[in-house]
Structure 1
């Protein structure tokens, strides 16, 4: 049997990497510092703990790039997608999960695998040899982050990420709020009523915006400077860009009809999505925030239906670090200066749970191939997985490199059948080609 692959970090990327390598017949040692060494965002020592949201976003593998990424991970026998499917919650066309049951099942699967050893403890320096994957995520420990900076000779790039609050369902006033997915999307009644909606009149909205802009917020420490990832902006930052920004973003009222007053169109709507299988917890969709805790309670209770809300978790902001991967990593996700080290997950500059796990899947398979004396190239750039890894390891401009979600803009152009134009024709052409090319890659992997 080959020497073990060592993986640092049991988040979504590290967990998927460990599963893929072990399934390929290569022993794995998975190093995890939690819970002995905690982070701002994590609560447990479980593998694949989800902290920002419970959503894997759209599950549409015909018209959506992240849905295509779901498809590829399922096709590759991915553990993260298998456990997400097992513990999914009604969420219209999105894939949302019961986060505690999800992480517990990932932990159970890895613990039970005969080729996986989970080793508690912090890795605080870069190893000198072997076959390693660094999948420590955006909250890499200070010691290991310092070692990475010393090796790469540059300050790690960083951006600030925010977490949305979670509300106890029993404290939502359902005489004001109602259940409905946007555009009644979903195949079952449960899916079509997966969200709780809180309506706002124009006066409600104006008062909310005024309170939001005036609220006490977390300030950056002196000398601390970083931008935000546009896909996870704090709501107060969006509000500062214009009073109607939220009403055209996470608070848009389209595709919804107030069940209590169908004739009256809400001026804005706040949506809450189920956070656990019991339906006792709901997170406020798109409401990432940097408001201080006391201010959050006061401001969020201005939302009609949440005037008596009790919060299971308030929002927060934390610093995320990532590599300038286009200059530091090769297309096998190896650190150019130390090719025995691969990186995977959000630390490589991908954004999102699914994207992070997909990079773990790829790193795990590549490391396993290396352990078996083979070289495994990445999938074609026409696939969702390949488009992401090609972007972060050379396709992006290193000078302006920022975290990126998967999207069709990363794919090479494709001609729709019959020369038809528009998204309705082009997007299925992207995903049809991606499926063919990913299956071809799996056949050689």
Structure 2
């Protein structure tokens, strides 16, 4: 009997894992509990639904590690990057997508694949046999999370993640706001005007910070401690670190000129990024928040241009669960105590859509190779995939392990390169050249043809 690969979770990682395995000729069943069982953050039952930002971040594959990860996923025939490219929105040098069209197209493509079956089912325990990938993401159900914690002999680690609000474009006052990408970045006029900018003078900024700090926040349950991933801090947590923190973070005014008052330099700028292809929805960049809904409406309407803002979605906060992967997973992403189970995605301790999908890609290929009776060579550490995989499966310090975005700090140094700011461009280019060569070689050795 042909062995089936079962994947629990139909998010970025589960979807990519299914696509890779099915493309290698393996029968796959995706077990996704939505829409049968809802979560705080999801709105639909679609696969690969984007619940926070609609951005895959930088698409620069020569000077940015996440852009390099984009390149590697495209080279491997990844469905996530294919659909992201298909539903791309103007966002300067970043890769932003129409979130609904993106997830809908991923869902349709996976459901249409002859080797993929999607079942609406929730798992509350770990499977005893077969080949499995658990890719339940940061919103792993309480029951399955408890089963994982019981198996690993320790409590599951957790941090808190926050979601940014989305605004209806027609409610933004464009007599105060303007459209411009920072430093006019982009090859086309549409890309150079991909963001809406709302300027603040010093008095407005100070009043905004006061209101932000005083606003009523979501309280944690007794016994929970809030540990945040630094790449997705709520704005009020950033403000608590210092009154200037936001002005040097998501509200930095550099690289922007207000055409309504070109002679006046804004003290701070709030940016909004297009959230759908129609341009009817914009999300407030970097404005993840744990403020209660009433407080959000009043505080965010202090922003010039958003005085009469209509919100398609307000921000929120949810608990994210992840493993201490350096102690629990081997280099094949298998649970050491149950090697028939692999983990993929954010539950492994990677952070971000792209990183989650990338670990799904690797897990899907490794699991499919096992089922087909093949042994894949180790994922090259000098690739972006390999650097991230090495970090979560032994490269990181287990005692202080926290979710991590891909970055060049995870890469082995290239010998003979000069340091300093001037040398950084050459260093990053050396990293990406080496990574691309290593990744091409890894794909070539497999000599696998895609049948999708």
Pairwise TM-score range, normalised by the shorter structure: over 0.9
Note the C-alpha offset of 1:2: 3.0
Secondary structure, aligned partner of 1:138: helix
Q: Which runs of 5+ in 1 are unaligned?
A: none
TM-score of the superposed pair, with normalisation by structure 2: 0.97
Question: Any conservation in 2 of the 1:362–1:378 contact (CA below 8 Å)?
Answer: no
Secondary structure, aligned partner of 2:139: coil
Separation in structure 2 between the aligned mates of residue 375 and residue 347 of structure 1, nearest angstrom? 25
Separation in structure 2 between the aligned mates of residue 115 and residue 393 of structure 1, nearest angstrom? 30
Note the C-alpha offset of 1:378: 3.6
Secondary structure, aligned partner of 2:138: coil
Question: Any conservation in 1 of the 2:136–2:347 contact (CA below 8 Å)?
Answer: yes
> In the alignment, what sits opposite 1:351?
351
> 1:90-109 counterparts in 2 under 5 A?
90-109=90-109
> 1:117-266 counterparts in 2 under 5 A?
117-266=117-266
Secondary structure, aligned partner of 1:427: helix
> In the alignment, what sits opposite 1:27?
27
> In the alignment, what sits opposite 2:292?
292
Separation in structure 1 between the aligned mates of residue 125 and residue 7 of structure 2, nearest angstrom? 13
> In the alignment, what sits opposite 2:382?
382
> In the alignment, what sits opposite 2:60?
60
Secondary structure, aligned partner of 2:40: coil
Separation in structure 2 between the aligned mates of residue 110 and residue 9 of structure 1, nearest angstrom? 13
Secondary structure, aligned partner of 1:363: helix
Summarize deviations over 1:249-289 as a string: whole Å, max 9, x none.
00000000001111110000000000000000000000000
Separation in structure 1 between the aligned mates of residue 401 and residue 331 of structure 2, nearest angstrom? 16
Moved over 4 A (4+): 416-421
Alignment root-mean-square deviation, CA: 1.1
Note the C-alpha offset of 1:415: 3.4
- The worse-fitting range, judged by mean Cα deviation, of 250-259 and 1-10 is 1-10
Secondary structure, aligned partner of 1:13: helix
Question: Any conservation in 1 of the 2:161–2:319 contact (CA below 8 Å)?
Answer: yes
Note the C-alpha offset of 1:219: 1.1
Summarize deviations over 1:322-377 as a string: whole Å, max 9, x none.
00000000000000000000000000000000000000000000000000111224
TM-score of the superposed pair, with normalisation by structure 1: 0.99
Note the C-alpha offset of 1:309: 0.2
Q: Which runs of 5+ in 2 are unaligned?
A: 447-452
Separation in structure 2 between the aligned mates of residue 269 and residue 307 of structure 1, nearest angstrom? 15
* Structure 1 pair 262–425 and aligned structure 2 pair: CA distance change class (3 A): same
Question: Any conservation in 1 of the 2:157–2:321 contact (CA below 8 Å)?
Answer: yes
State the number of aligned residues.
445
* Structure 1 pair 416–110 and aligned structure 2 pair: CA distance change class (3 A): farther
Separation in structure 1 between the aligned mates of residue 405 and residue 7 of structure 2, nearest angstrom? 24
Note the C-alpha offset of 1:226: 3.4
Secondary structure, aligned partner of 2:376: coil
Separation in structure 2 between the aligned mates of residue 198 and residue 124 of structure 1, nearest angstrom? 46
Question: Any conservation in 2 of the 1:52–1:163 contact (CA below 8 Å)?
Answer: yes
